[in-house]
Chains A and B, each alone.
Chain A
Amino acid sequence: MPFATWVWDVRHVTSASARQQILAFCRAQRVSTLYVAAYQFTPAQAEAYRAFNHEAHRDGIAVHALAGDPRWALGRYHHLPLAWAEAVIEFNRASGPEERFDGLHTDIEPYLLSRAWSEHPARLLGGFLDLHAKVAGRVGDHRPLQLGVDVPFWFDDDPAYVIQWRGRVQPPSHHVLDVADYVTVLAYRNYAEGAEGVIELASKEVAYAEQAGKAVVIGQETQPDLVPAYITYGGTSAAYLWAEWAKVIRAFQSRRSFGGIAVHHYDSYRELVG
């Protein structure tokens, strides 16, 4: 079963010793995909990413360039994420095959623009979808590069939560699945089964992705001290989380669209499972 994790702190990839530590962790925890923060590509940073990607690929680990900002959903600022996507593509063009990123992964979370989101959610969602359609177009020109998008579970939770986009009326996460290669559903609960458990929260995305021929990775939180406590495995134990994830895997392993579990994020995951 594929596992992924987010790596936000770029210092984990900039030194040889940190690289060895993270890759050893991935081997031990069977993590096969990393979403690595890659906002900037100065010569020194590009060199570090090349070295990291090369070493990760030697271990069979895919690396996706991770970035995002809630304001990227605003149409008037789309040029910024598009410039980022172009920078990743340019980085790949200038790198050897083993040094390239395998994908782009966005974490935009437009709902964090509190006032704009409360006043104009449809406008922000439309901008969010338009942006990913544009990025998908650029990614499509550079296969096998992939596009993955973080979406909250509640983007298709309520049957009434739909948006008309490109002539179709459906939940935002389904629109995202139509344009991206995969979504990572932030189904942040620390229990698998029952009402509002992880399985229930992710089931509609998995079902839609099956129809669309796309993949769904289920995001799980491990940071400690979050409120409310039920959104995170932080403060529980490795044995507990493995037992819950085993239930999630059992529930979805027969679905072609199930892309595994992504753990947020590397630092807290490492701390939790030791």
Chain B
Amino acid sequence: MSRARVTCHLVLVALWCHAAPASADEIYFASGEPLKGLVVEEHADRLIVSTVDGERVVSRQEVDEVFFDDPERNYLYLGNEALAEGDAATAIALFQRALRLNPQWQDAHDALQRVEDRRLKTTAGWVGDDPEQAFWTTWGVRLAATDGYPVVAAVASQRAMDHAGVRVGDHLVAVWGESMGFRPLADVAERLLGPPGTPVKVTIQRDVTLRAGPGPSATWPGVELTMAPAGLTVSRVAALGALAGVEAGDLIVALDHRPTRYLPLAGARATVGRARRHDVPVRLQRHLVIIRPTGE
């Protein structure tokens, strides 16, 4: 998510309260019809678009082009299209164009890593006949399908994912920034598999709970929040937050069962503040860089 995205999102909501939006992403369907809104999730087969009428699921098959309000995001989008067509050289050129517009943009850096990861797999002659089984054999992890992101169903102890802190019940959100939502499990396993000793960046999603009522000496509520370019982020964690399993740098995607992408920072802090009186469920996302195991 680019640096202006979160602010833009909130501004867009505000603008819609008064008039037609001044700027937004534009989705053009194959029929020629446009749709204005903000693309808040991009998956292999669908986009989630926040519109004035609420969130809308758009099948990629219906889409001709998406023009993002942030120019760097257009280059990322086009690079992903090129990569899907097997044109890695053009994909790299497009991701580099995203970076020249915004050199610190992590999504574009991750996209370049994704291309490099594919190159490594090709060079190493990495072939998986049965990715799911290979994933279990080498990683000691079984995945289960859901109606969104795949969930971790089993994790063998003392293996790479276990060492990285992945637990049963975690959802696999992305690999090198690419959404794993709504994909066949074999696809997900294939993305994770690769030459032993190489890194892979995995984004997991986990539900935790900030428990009500602080102990008298504990720093309360145990987490500090900030609005970072990627979204609502944990900036500091004290004992109570750590007890709940929150870490600094975690992205908070839902608080008290409400998505945070429509929540201003003050509202998020107020919600966390309610943990003094009752438990507050928190859905967080966390990036982990895992070194691929040998399976030994």
The docked-state distance in angstroms from the alpha carbon of A39 to that of B74 is 12
Name the interface size band of chain A. 20 to 34
B94 at the interface (CB under 8 A from A): yes
- Give chain B interface residues in 65-123, CB to chain A under 8 Å: 65, 67, 69, 71, 74, 78, 82, 85, 87, 90, 93-94, 96-97, 100-103
* B102–A112 touching, CB < 8 Å: no
- Give chain A interface residues in 103-150, CB to chain B under 8 Å: 112-115
Closest to A267 in B: B103
The docked-state distance in angstroms from the alpha carbon of A243 to that of B149 is 56
The docked-state distance in angstroms from the alpha carbon of A256 to that of B26 is 43
* A69–B100 touching, CB < 8 Å: no
Q: Give the residues in chain B near A67, CB-CB below 8 Å.
A: 71
Which of B74, B87, B101 is A8 in contact with, Cβ under 8 Å? B101
Assess A9 versus B71: contact at CB under 8 Å? Given A70-B78, A112-B90, A114-B82.
Answer: no
Q: C-beta contact mask, A76-87 vs B, less than 8 Å → 1, else 0?
A: 110010000000
* B78–A8 touching, CB < 8 Å: no
Assess A39 versus B82: contact at CB under 8 Å? Given A77-B65, A112-B94.
Answer: no
Q: Give the residues in chain A near B101, CB-CB below 8 Å.
A: 8-10, 37
Which of B28, B71, B93 is A112 in contact with, Cβ under 8 Å? B93
Q: Give the residues in chain A near B28, CB-CB below 8 Å.
A: 76-77
The docked-state distance in angstroms from the alpha carbon of A67 to that of B101 is 10
* A69–B71 touching, CB < 8 Å: yes
* A115–B74 touching, CB < 8 Å: no
B23 at the interface (CB under 8 A from A): yes
Assess A265 versus B71: contact at CB under 8 Å? Given A71-B65, A112-B94.
Answer: no
The docked-state distance in angstroms from the alpha carbon of A69 to that of B101 is 12
A29 at the interface (CB under 8 A from B): no
Q: Give the residues in chain A near B32, CB-CB below 8 Å.
A: 76
Assess A37 versus B71: contact at CB under 8 Å? Given A112-B90, A114-B90.
Answer: yes
* B74–A69 touching, CB < 8 Å: yes
Closest to B11 in A: A42
The docked-state distance in angstroms from the alpha carbon of A148 to that of B23 is 26
Instruction: Give chain B nearest CB distance to A173 CB in angstroms.
Output: 20
Q: Give the residues in chain B near A77, CB-CB below 8 Å.
A: 28, 65, 67
Instruction: Give chain A nearest CB distance to B11 CB in angstroms.
Output: 9
Instruction: Give chain B nearest CB distance to A48 CB in angstroms.
Output: 13
Instruction: Give chain A nearest CB distance to B33 CB in angstroms.
Output: 12
Instruction: Give chain B nearest CB distance to A4 CB in angstroms.
Output: 16
Q: Give the residues in chain B near A74, CB-CB below 8 Å.
A: 65
Instruction: Give chain B nearest CB distance to A86 CB in angstroms.
Output: 14
The docked-state distance in angstroms from the alpha carbon of A158 to that of B93 is 23
The docked-state distance in angstroms from the alpha carbon of A74 to that of B65 is 11
Q: Give the residues in chain A near B96, CB-CB below 8 Å.
A: 223
Closest to B102 in A: A9
* B23–A40 touching, CB < 8 Å: yes
Closest to A80 in B: B67
Which of B69, B87, B100 is A40 in contact with, Cβ under 8 Å? B69
Instruction: Give chain B nearest CB distance to A226 CB in angstroms.
Output: 8
Which of A10, A70, A114, A265 is B87 in contact with, Cβ under 8 Å? A114
The docked-state distance in angstroms from the alpha carbon of A85 to that of B103 is 26
* A113–B78 touching, CB < 8 Å: yes
The docked-state distance in angstroms from the alpha carbon of A70 to that of B65 is 12
* A42–B93 touching, CB < 8 Å: no
Q: Give the residues in chain B near A40, CB-CB below 8 Å.
A: 23, 69
Closest to A70 in B: B78
Instruction: Give chain A nearest CB distance to B216 CB in angstroms.
Output: 46
Instruction: Give chain A nearest CB distance to B85 CB in angstroms.
Output: 5
* A39–B71 touching, CB < 8 Å: yes
* A112–B100 touching, CB < 8 Å: no
* A42–B103 touching, CB < 8 Å: no
Q: Give the residues in chain B near A114, CB-CB below 8 Å.
A: 82, 85, 87, 90
Assess A9 versus B103: contact at CB under 8 Å? Given A42-B23, A70-B78, A114-B90.
Answer: yes
Q: Give the residues in chain B near A115, CB-CB below 8 Å.
A: 85, 87
Assess A71 versus B67: contact at CB under 8 Å? Given A9-B103, A265-B100.
Answer: yes
The docked-state distance in angstroms from the alpha carbon of A69 to that of B67 is 9
Q: List 19 A-B contacts (CB under 8 A).
A: A9-B100, A9-B103, A42-B23, A69-B67, A69-B78, A70-B78, A71-B67, A71-B74, A74-B65, A80-B26, A112-B78, A112-B90, A113-B78, A114-B85, A114-B90, A115-B87, A223-B96, A265-B100, A267-B103
**10 pairs of A and B residues whose beta carbons are closest in the complex:** A114-B87, A8-B100, A114-B90, A39-B71, A114-B82, A8-B101, A115-B85, A69-B74, A112-B90, A114-B85
* Apart from A42-B22, A112-B78, 19 more pairs, CB < 8 Å: A8-B100, A8-B101, A9-B100, A9-B103, A37-B101, A40-B69, A69-B67, A69-B74, A69-B78, A71-B74, A76-B28, A76-B32, A114-B82, A114-B85, A114-B87, A115-B85, A115-B87, A223-B100, A267-B100
